[in-house]
Each structure stands twice: as C-alpha cells, then as structure tokens.
A and B are shown apart, each in its own frame.
Chain A
Amino acid sequence: MSDPLVRIKGLVKTYPVKGGAFQKVLGTVKAVDGVDLDIRQGAAIGLVGESGCGKSTLGRAILRLEEPDAGSVEFDGVDVLQLSRKELKHYRRDAQVVFQDPFGSLDPRTSVGDSIAEGLRVQGLSRKMRGRRVADVLELVGLEPYHANRYPHEFSGGQRQRIGIARALAVEPRFLILDEPVSALDVSIQSQILNLLKQLQRELDLTLLFIAHDLSVVEHLCDRIAVMYLGRIVEIADRDDLFAAPTHPYTEALLSAIPVPDPTVHRQRIILEGDLPSPLNPPTGCTFHTRCPIAQQGICDVSAPYLRPINSGGHEASCHLRTGDHQDLDRPLLSNR
C-alpha cells in the first residue's frame, strides 16, 4: 500500500494552566498526549470523543493553527511542522478546515463572495478568476452564484455551513478537516449537509478528517473511526468492525449510550460512573480506569496501555484487559452486541 497522505506521529500539545492574581503557571494540560494516526489518500477518518478529549486540538495542530509541542505531522511526505511561513501558505491550500459554528466563522461585514475568495486572493488569483471560482464552488455546495453578493446574516444556519464548506473548497484542497460541522444544525438540515459532504468527498476525491462527538454522524461519512479519551486514541478500526466488535470499554460505553430512535429496541446501557477526570491531573495508568466498569486494581491504575492490533484488518485498541497479557478477561460487557 502506498504511503498515507497524512501521517501523524507522537503528536503532543500541552497548554499551561494559569491562575491566581499574577497568572502564575499552575501546571500543564496535555490536550493531545501522543497521537499516531495515518490517513490514506481519499479516506474519510472519523475522530470521536467527548468534550475535552482533545479531538479539536488535534485537528488544529495538524493544520498548525496550534503549534504542537512534540511529534510530527507529515503531509504527502513533507514534515508540516518544519515548514517556513511561505511554505505554510502552500500547505494551507492543500489542507482546509470547516468549523462548527456557521455563525461565528463568517465575517458579518464581508460579503459571502469576498469571504470565499479570500483564500484565492492570498494564492494570487486575478479578480476575474476569483469571481469565476466563487460562482463554481457556490454551485458545488448547492447555492446560487448570485449569493456571492449577499452577507452572512441573510442566510440560515444550514446555508451558512454550505458557505463555510464553499470557502474551504475554493482553493481546491486535497485534505479537509471538518470540526463538528453539523452539531449546530437542526436535524433536517444536518442530513442535507451530511449528504452534501459525502457527495463532495466522492466527486472531488477528498481526504477527510471528520471530528465529532456524535458517533452516528461520523458513521454516516467515515470508513474508519478513531475514538479519543483524554488526549489519546484508545481505539481505531474500520467502521463496521468498530460497531460490530467494539473492544475498548470506553468505546462500548459510548456506543451503548447513543439513544436509538426506535422505541421497540430495549438495549442494556453501560452507564459510566462520574465525569471526565480533569486533564490537569489525569489518572495514573490507564486514564480511563477511574470510570471503567472492568478496571482491575494493580493493573489498570499502574501502567498505561498502548494501542495494540486486535486483528489483521487494522483494528487497534489500548486496554490491558482486552488486548494485553490479561486476555482471559476478554469478554464483552454486553451479551447482545
């Protein structure tokens, strides 16, 4: 198999936590704590996890909207973290992002056409070419060319998200990061955008990293899914594999917690105790052990597990009890899965 388009290795991003009257540094939060991830050309990878798990930070670090502290990000064989300012400009033509908030991410005083054309202007396209390209991408995302002269407040949430997608696509990127692109939208609008993204991915042969908290949304678009917890990927697998055989207890709990819109289905739910631990002071050993229904004293609180392959199909999970030397405990929490 050819080299992946994006290869992330040991990526770490920490933030200082400040407090008190003099804003003294009290400690550091490891928002992303050693993530490895390969994204093949044309693949759509989903990155799921709950708030504060570091999924958005990872996305931003890949684009160098945040400077990572350690690790590497390779794009098409080039180390992105070593790029100069000028080279970074080229990288940002190849890698684009769509954010969650279609209201906050558009400048209210700039016309939609100018917003979309901004990236093209930076790339040095002529005015005429820019106008043509703007009309093209507007049509691509299901809007009309005349919308270019309008302002963001004239559009609904769903339309604004289309504009956000058009803006990202204007520079013809190869890689697109979608950070919760539909969470702010109503259900019926959400499905329009999800279908649009799927269609665009196919037509333009885009490589996608889809960041979301909602597994069912990710499942619709992605062929491979990574689950994050407290800054680490705890499980990664091809979509069907993940749903058929979730291996990490956190993935199992996450899957079982999603309400199913079918009242005849009565599932056993795994209710996790308590809240996400503070990333300022993460638990020892496996960071999930404080909430894990099967955690074992003396194992899980002592050493941190790492991702190990479960099968030859690229399914990996990091759990001492399910993948490590303690496989005798390898029984699923739910019998009906």
Chain B
Amino acid sequence: MTTASIDDPILEISGLETHFFTRDGVVKAVDGVDLTVGKGEILGLVGESGCGKSVTSMSVLRLIQNPGEIVGGAIRFQGENLLDLSEKQMRSIRGDRISMIFQQPVGSLNPVFTAGSQISEVYEIHQGVNAKEGSARAVEMLRKVGIPDPERRIKSYPHELSGGMAQRIMIAMALAAGPELLIADEPTTALDVTIQAQIIDILSEIRDDLGTSIILITHDLGIVAEMADRVAVMYAGEIVEEADTKTLFADPKHPYTQGLIGSIPVAGSRREWLEVIPGRVPNLIDLPVGCRFAPRCRAREQAGLKICTEQRPELTVIQGEHTVRCFLYHEGAQ
C-alpha cells in the first residue's frame, strides 16, 4: 500500500517539552515526546482531550502562545532544528513546507474574503505569481480536492459553504504551496459521517498522489485504522505506545491502548457491554508520581506491581518498531 518508511524521516521530534505556566501551576501538556514521521507516511496521533496531541502539533509549527512555552527537546524537519530558527525563517516554513488544517473549517477561513482569493493568496505569497495565475491555480486545486464547479465556488464566501465544502477549501489552501508535511488536527470531527468519508478519501489520495507526509491527529480510532500507516497513542503528555497500525490494533500492549480499543462501539459487531477505563485523565498540573496511567490501571493491580506508582516507565521495545511505556513489559519489574 505504501512505501513510506521511518528510515527516511521528514520530521523527528525528540524529547519535546511544552509547558504552560499558569497561575495555578505548570501544566505539562507535552512532557518528553519522541516522534518520527517518514516521507510519504501517514502517522496517526491518538488520544483523548487534553492528552497533548494538539499542543504537540502546534509546537511543530511553533505556534505556542503565552503562557505556553517549548522548554525542551528538538524538532528536526528535514534535518534542521525548527527550534533554532528565527521567527522570520519560521514564517517561510509555515504554510509553505509544513501546513495545517483544523477541526473547525468555517472558523479557520477569513469571513470577508472569498474562498478563491484566500487560496490564490497562498500562490501569490509563496510562489510569487500574479493574481490571475493565482486564481487559475486555485481553481485547479479545488478540482483536485473534489469541489464541483470550482470556477463558481472560488467566488463563494466562507459563510456560504457547508462544513464539508469549507474543509475541502482548507485542504486546498493547505496544499497550495506544495508542503512536504501536512498536519491534520481532527479534520473530520465536525463533519457528518458521509462527508467525513469524502474527506478521508481526499487525504489518502493526497498522500498517494503527491507523496505528502501527514500527521493525523484524532480521537477516532476508526479513522486511524482506515488511514494511518503508523499510530502513536498519547496519554497525559506522553507517548505511551507506538506501532504500525496493523500491529497496534491486533496486539495492543499498553493497558490504556487496550482499554481505548475495547471501549469503542463497533457498528455491526455489538457486544453486550463496552469496556470501561475507570476514573479519568490526571490533572496535568499535579501528575501522579510514577506511571501516569497507574491510578486507572487494572492490569497493574492484577500483576501486583509496586514500581508503577514509584517510577516513571521508559519506552521499551516490544518488537521491531513496536514500543510501549509500561512496566508490565519490563523484565523483573516488581
């Protein structure tokens, strides 16, 4: 299906720490994240609200605002550490080589400009073409993302667009400059199922046709299973498990991943009761000592492990590229 490989990385995040310095204390939203995205790869970044998946992606684009700050780590894009760049250099990367689409497509578009002029602007700024050429290319791009009658559509204002249409415009805009990496943050969450299916298809086509690498941020394991080559699961600011998509769904190791997969109702294969992860996500200001999932972990209780509430587990290799942050897989852990 894909020739993507993490041996040929386009993005390497190592030890990323993004903290928010609030009145109530330091929120460790991202706390030591390592991630690699291969060329032409779709990496799924999965987790529940507040796990730090969006903050990770905003850190890549260096869009973290006060009181947030990237306090540690490195983000290498094509070998260059983005954290060393000046704001001016960073601007030439944003939208040009790395671009992003968001959950709320209508809200992300400027309401006073037509869809066409907003896409055309990307060509004018990043490729130095004139307005006429820019709008011709905008029409071309809209056709590519499956918008019917693009000549007419470029004259529409955002409020005249449906959610699915606006998301396609956003995708067209994000792709206009021919980025090497696209970050899609919950791209279909606000859309209806049948429209979601259209957007999933378009994103997969983009990767296949243009070789664009994609970081797909979502809480929906179904979308990840359909699209991603590899999956990283985040919990309370950390990656707790990472594997290729087939392995992760067939053989999840981390008790959190197992619980997550067991808790989703699957259409057409009903179970009497859904699995439940007890409790809730810890407060990121006052994180538990040891493993962050330990207070909700039944596997730990069953195994009678004490270490889980005393030490923070490291990522361990299960096999090949399958890694997990859990003491259950540490030899001799007690």
- Chain A residues in the interface with B (C-beta under 8 A): 50-51, 156, 158, 186-192, 194-195, 198, 213-217, 219-220, 239, 243, 253-265, 269, 271-276
In the complex, chain B residues 276-325 whose Cβ is within 8 Å of any chain A Cβ: 276-277, 280-281
Measured CB to CB, the nearest residue on chain B to A239 is: B270
The answer to whether A194 touches B265 (Cβ under 8 A) is yes
CB distance from A102 to the nearest CB of B (A): 13
Q: A50-B193, A192-B276 are in contact. Are A243 and B201 (CB under 8 A)?
A: no
Residue of B nearest to A188 (CB): B277
Q: Which residues of B contact A269 (CB under 8 A)?
A: 197, 201
Task: Output the least CB separation between B162 and chain A (Å).
Answer: 5
**Selected contact of B265 from candidates A217, A254, A265, A272, CB within 8 Å:** A217
Residues of B within 8 A of A156 (CB): 280
Q: List the interface of chain B (C-beta within 8 A of A).
A: 48-49, 148, 162, 164-165, 192-198, 200-201, 219-226, 245-246, 249-250, 259-268, 270-271, 273-277, 280-281
Is B165 in contact with A275, judged by CB distance below 8 angstroms? Answer: yes
B255 CB, min distance to chain A CBs, angstroms: 12
**Chain A residues whose CB sits within 8 angstroms of the CB of B266 once the complex forms:** 216, 260-262
Q: Is the CB of B222 within 8 A of A259?
A: yes
With A191-B263, A191-B264, A220-B265 in contact, do A213 and B246 touch (Cβ < 8 Å)? no
Chain A nearest CB: distance from B272 CB in Å? Answer: 8
Residues of B with C-beta under 8 A to A188: 48, 259-260, 263, 276-277
Which chain A positions have C-beta within 8 A of B271?
220
Q: Which residues of B contact A259 (CB under 8 A)?
A: 196-197, 200, 220, 222-223, 225-226
Quick check: A215 and B221 within 8 Å, CB to CB? no
State A219–B249 Cα separation when bound (angstroms): 22
Q: B273 and A189: CB pair below 8 A? A: no
Residues of chain A within 8 A of B277, CB atoms compared: 188, 191
Q: Identify which of A158, A194, A239 gathers the most chain B CB atoms within 10 Å of its CB.
A: A194
B276 cross-chain contacts in A, Cβ below 8 A: 188, 191-192, 195
Shortest B278–chain A CB gap in Å is 8
Check if A275 sits within 8 Å of B260, measured CB to CB: no
The answer to whether residues A243 and B249 also contact, given A188-B260, A260-B226, A261-B222 and a CB cut-off of 8 A, is no
Query: Which residue of chain A has the shortest Cβ distance to B226 in the bound complex?
Result: A259
A-B contacts besides A158-B280, A191-B263, A258-B193, 14 pairs, CB < 8 Å: A186-B49, A190-B263, A194-B265, A220-B270, A220-B274, A254-B194, A255-B268, A257-B197, A261-B249, A261-B266, A263-B245, A269-B201, A273-B148, A275-B165
- Inter-chain contacts of B273 with A (CB < 8 A): 195, 198
- In the complex, what's the smallest C-beta–C-beta distance from B112 to chain A, in angstroms? 20
Q: Main SS of the interface on chain B? A: helix
**A243 — which chain B residues lie within 8 A by C-beta?**
267-268
Contact across chains for B267 and A194 when beta carbons are under 8 A apart: no
The 6 closest A-B pairs by CB, nearest first: A259-B222, A191-B263, A216-B267, A50-B192, A191-B274, A186-B48
Distance A194 CA – B192 CA, assembled complex (angstroms): 21
A271-B201 contact in complex given A50-B193, A187-B219, A261-B249, C-beta closer than 8 Å: yes
A187 & B225 in contact (Cβ 8 Å cutoff): no
User: Which of B193, B226, B246, B260 is in CB contact (< 8 Å) with A187?
Assistant: B260
Instruction: Please determine whether B192 and A213 come into contact, CB atoms closer than 8 angstroms.
Output: yes
List the B side residues contacting A215 at CB < 8 Å: 193, 267
A231 to chain B, nearest CB (A): 16
A264 to B251, CA, bound (A): 13
CA distance A275 to B271 in the complex (A): 33
Q: Is the CB of B274 within 8 A of A195?
A: yes
Closest A residue, CB atoms, query B190: A51
A260-B274 in contact (CB<8A) = no
B192 partner residues in chain A, CB cutoff 8 A: 50-51, 213, 276
Contact A264/B267 with A50-B192, A50-B194, A274-B148 known, Cβ cut-off 8 Å: no
Q: Please, how many angstroms separate the alpha-carbon atoms of A192 and B281 in the complex?
A: 14
Closest partner residue, chain B, to A221 (CB atom): B265
- In the complex, what residue of chain A is closest to B271 when comparing beta carbons? A220
Given contacts A191-B274, A194-B274, A271-B198, contact A264 B264 (CB under 8 A): no
Is A260 touching B225 in the complex (CB atoms < 8 A)? yes
By a CB distance below 8 angstroms, the chain B residues around A256 are 197
Q: Which residues of A contact B245 (CB under 8 A)?
A: 263
Q: Which A residues are in CB contact (< 8 Å) with B224?
A: 261
CB of B115 to closest CB in A, whole Å: 15
A107 to B249 alpha-carbon distance, docked (Å): 41
Q: How far is the CB of A249 from chain B (nearest CB, A)?
A: 12
In the bound complex, CA of A188 to CA of B262 (Å): 9
Docked CA distance A219–B195 (Å): 21
Q: List 25 A-B contacts (CB under 8 A).
A: A156-B280, A158-B280, A186-B49, A187-B264, A188-B276, A188-B277, A189-B48, A191-B262, A191-B275, A191-B276, A213-B193, A214-B193, A216-B265, A217-B265, A219-B267, A254-B193, A255-B268, A257-B196, A258-B267, A259-B200, A259-B226, A261-B249, A264-B246, A265-B225, A272-B194
